[in-house]
Structure 1
Amino acid sequence: MNPDDGFRELNRQECLRLMATTPVGRIVHTRHALPAVLPVNFCLDGGGGVLLRTAAQSELVRAVDGVVVAFEADEVDAAAHSGWSVVVTGRAAVVTDPAEHARLCLVGPRSWAPSHEEVFVRIEPELITGRQLTGGRTLHGARQPL
């Protein structure tokens, strides 16, 4: 990526550090053979795994269990024309181990829309990419005054 275009590639550690600062992201999966995007709250779980908590009978669980998905988190400052975006790509799976489920009940994300029966979905990262937009550039690359 050209360093003069206003973007900077982020390494894996930078991506994980930034993702840990925001509670909401978007999961991208296939629905009726088309891309579907759903905002969800999440947290990270060791090694960059993304954890979601949702109703056990949700359409999301049926759509993502055992398949490759993308997960995106970002933060944008429109006034400063800056921000970042991170995409995690990997296989999603419902956590079925009872001991792991119990552990995640203590440390995992809290559902913003609680259900009687909830499950955790873990996305194991196969690829983590990110980029940061540096602020203060115009369309033609000149710096804006601060």
Structure 2
Amino acid sequence: MTPYSDPIRMLTEAESWDRLREQELGRLVTHVGDTIDIFPVNYAVYADGILFRTAPGTKLFELTVNADVLFEVDSHTDTEAWSVVVRGHATPLETSADVERAETAELRPWIPTLKRVFVRIVPTSVSGRAFARGAEPDRDGPQMY
């Protein structure tokens, strides 16, 4: 990378989905009234969306009040990093046929709790960025204008 290279690159939608498939832990952002919450969830890419499991509680309640969510996943190494954001609608699966299909994703809770509710995020948009990591540029040298 030259001193004038852009260390940020927009990912294509296909690249963003590839990155989502590489990971299994993301952050779900909900919004109800003046309250914005963020929850770590393990997930799977499933049927052109995101699938996670939960139990009755704050997260599930907030999704029933406002299904509009953000879902973010990121990762990094010493030389690069990336972040993908999914905007969409989260809905619990209700029919036994939908739940049976979701079971094939083999998505299991990370902690020993019962999480019987499958929730699917249907994306309205998917965007991602990749970042080249490195030292901060020289502040006193030539500057790009």
Q: Scaled by the length of structure 1, what TM-score is found?
A: 0.83
Q: Contact conserved, 2:109 with 2:115, CA < 8 A, in 1?
A: no
Deviation at 1:69, TM superposition (A): 0.2
Deviation at 1:32, TM superposition (A): 5.8
Question: What do residues 14-68 of structure 1 show as CA deviations (whole Å, max 9, x unaligned)?
Answer: 0000111111000011256222111110000122x0111111x122111113510
Structure 2 counterpart of 1:23, one-letter code: E
Distance in 1, Cα, partners of 2:50 & 2:113: 20
Whether 1:110 and 2:108 are equivalent positions in the alignment is yes
Q: Contact conserved, 1:54 with 1:115, CA < 8 A, in 2?
A: no
Whether 1:64 and 2:72 are equivalent positions in the alignment is no
Percent of residue pairs bearing the same amino acid type: 29
Distance in 2, Cα, partners of 1:116 & 1:134: 40
Superposed, which structure 2 residues align to 1:19-98 within 5 Å?
Answer: 19-30=20-31, 33-47=34-48, 49-55=49-55, 57-65=56-64, 67-77=67-77, 79-80=78-79, 82-98=80-96
2:133 to 102, 126, 135: 135
Q: Which runs of 4+ in 1 moved over 6 A?
A: none
Q: Scaled by the length of structure 2, what TM-score is found?
A: 0.83
Query: Which one has a bigger Cα radius of gyration?
Result: 2
Structure 1 unpaired stretches of 5+: none
> 118-127 vs 99-108, which deviates more?
99-108
Query: May I ask how many residue pairs the two structures share in their alignment?
Result: 136
Distance in 2, Cα, partners of 1:40 & 1:117: 11
2:118 to 117, 120, 124: 120
Question: What do residues 75-124 of structure 1 show as CA deviations (whole Å, max 9, x unaligned)?
Answer: 022x33x2100000001100001111012123242111344461111010
Structure 2 unpaired stretches of 5+: none
